[in-house]
Amino acid sequence: MARGSQTMSASPHSKNNSIPQAKPSARAIAYSVLLAVETRAAYASELLHSRMSSDIAARDAALATELVMGTLRWQRALDFFIARYTGRTISALDAEVLIALRMGIYQLRHLTRIPARAAVNESVELVRRARKKSAVPLANAALRRAAAEKSEPLTSFLPAGMDATEALAIEHSHPTWMVERWLRKFGEPKTIELLEWNNHAPKQACAILNPARREETIRSLEEAGLHVEAGRLLKDAIVVSRGNVAKTAALRNGWIAIQDEASQAIPLLLDAQGGESVLDLCAAPGGKTIALAQRAGARGHVVACDIYEARLRVMRERLHATGTNNVSLVILDGTSDLPFGRRFDRILVDAPCSGTGTLARNPEIRWRLRAEDLAELRVCQVKLLASALAHLAPNGKLLYSTCSMEAEENESVIQEALAKSPDFRIEPVKVPQSILVEGVRAENLTDGEGAFRTFPPAQHSDGFFAAAIRRR
């Protein structure tokens, strides 16, 4: 997708007289992805991955990714400027025009290496190509005003007397309701830390799925032009930068999985032992399943479940690539009674959740999630946990985890599920010091109740929660 590439004419004597199409520019790719996220509730990272063909130059892939993720992170602040410069509400603008304006203002205010003229002209051209010619004068005028004020801080434009929480939410581009609850929970200094963390691009952590090929895997990544660093939290994790992991042989061959370090820690906290039976109730995409299978060993067995057959097919390929043979895959709805006539020594319930601990990595979540969604998610999470508890063996251990930072999805779920179950007790999560990098202390990863917690700015990871439950 090299920018400025020219369309080459086919020879009249060639077998195929069709004219090859010019590759789309980084901005065109970003525009199409953002439009799909806006209008079809698509997920940005998945779309970017699918659009990054093997012939896309690394520079263009990086720019497209920056434009998509940066525009999504700063969406509320960008919309504040759009309303200022157009004199219209966001809902009054066509999606095609809105996306072009967001991209243009993002480049003007956050990408200093892109000339203002290019940011303006390219964004106006996107409006024109989207066949919104009547909106071209509006977009052009708005972006020129934005260019003239691009060095002025947003706070200088906020109305005098604006509510402090509202102002903080606009300045840091988060929903007001989310900022309000974090202020109550964390206080202002930690909340601002979290908001700032969510608005930067985190480095890409990876799990090495076959420890026996660790050195070969790292060498393969480096030969592909990626820079490989040690993990910030876990000894066995790696962090990669300066390259596209999605295009590497290591990912295609199933040697690595793109997986946050806090997420990698979850199956280790369950502490499965060799020969044990393990249930992974919400298993896809499978990174945690492989770690559990390695812990259970050849004499142990893991039953991995998911509600979607397509996700299990992808898991099956990953299991095959890593030579993982002690896993059975089962399609089921974990919120209903489970079809197993047995109990398990270890159970992992890594529950579907709001994902508020992953907003740096998945910025579109903050614009889709509503406060009332937390209660709906909790209903599903309680059902999942209750179904799993019914199949926990005596003295067996269950780990309930989410990538949410909200009490409704964490402590409250456990309290409700255990309210009428005297056979179970909560026990402190044991974080083995041996899995952590030097300088990270295990006691700093658990709270006063013994639950595992990561706070993104502190651990440079997603925000995870995990609690351990033991059957008496």
Query: Annotated catalytic sites, by residue?
Result: 403
3-state secondary structure the chain: CCCCCCCCCCCCCCCCCCCCCCCCCHHHHHHHHHHHHHHHCCCHHHHHHHHCCCCCCHHHHHHHHHHHHHHHHCHHHHHHHHHHHHCCCHHHCCHHHHHHHHHHHHHHHHCCCCCHHHHHHHHHHHHHHCCCHHHHHHHHHHHHHHHHCCCCCHHHHCCCCCCHHHHHHHHCCCCHHHHHHHHHHHCHHHHHHHHHHHCCCCCEEEEECCHHHHHHHHHHHHHCCCEEEECCCECCCEEEECCCHHHCHHHHCCCEEECCHHHHHHHHHHCCCCCCEEEECCCCCCHHHHHHHHHHCCCCEEEEEECCHHHHHHHHHHHHHCCCCCEEEEECCCCCCCCCCCCEEEEEEECCCCCHHHCCCCCCHHHHCCCCHHHHHHHHHHHHHHHHHCCEEEEEEEEEEECCCCHHHCHHHHHHHHCCCCCEEEECCCCCHHHECCCCCHHHHECCCCCEECCHHHHCCCCCEEEEEEEC
**Using an 8 Å Cβ cutoff, are 399 and 347 in contact?**
yes
How far, CA to CA in Å, does 462 sit from each of 65, 122, 205, 259?
19, 34, 10, 10
**Torsion sign over Cα 194, 360, 181, 92:** positive
Q: Which residues of 58-75 are buried (b: 16+ CB within 10 A; e: fewer)?
A: eebbebbbbbbbbbbbbb
